[in-house]
Amino acid sequence: MPASLRFEPQLPLGPPGAPNESTVAPPRFRPRGLGEPVRWMAARLARLGFQG
């Protein structure tokens, strides 16, 4: 698999306009991927006062 595909955002599981699983399920129930630790760390840094 090309490396770039691993960094594509996850697609919604339902038809267009349906809620994405990531907006419905708690973070620990989302499918694990490389993006999850990045979002977790970004949220942690934001709480500590770092931006971006």
pLDDT tens for 8-49 read 556 545 555 555 555 555 555 555 566 667 778 888 888 888
Q: Whole-model pTM?
A: 0.28
Residue with tokens 């620990």: 28
What's the CA gap between 49 and 12, in Å, rounded? 31
What's the CA gap between 5 and 11, in Å, rounded? 12
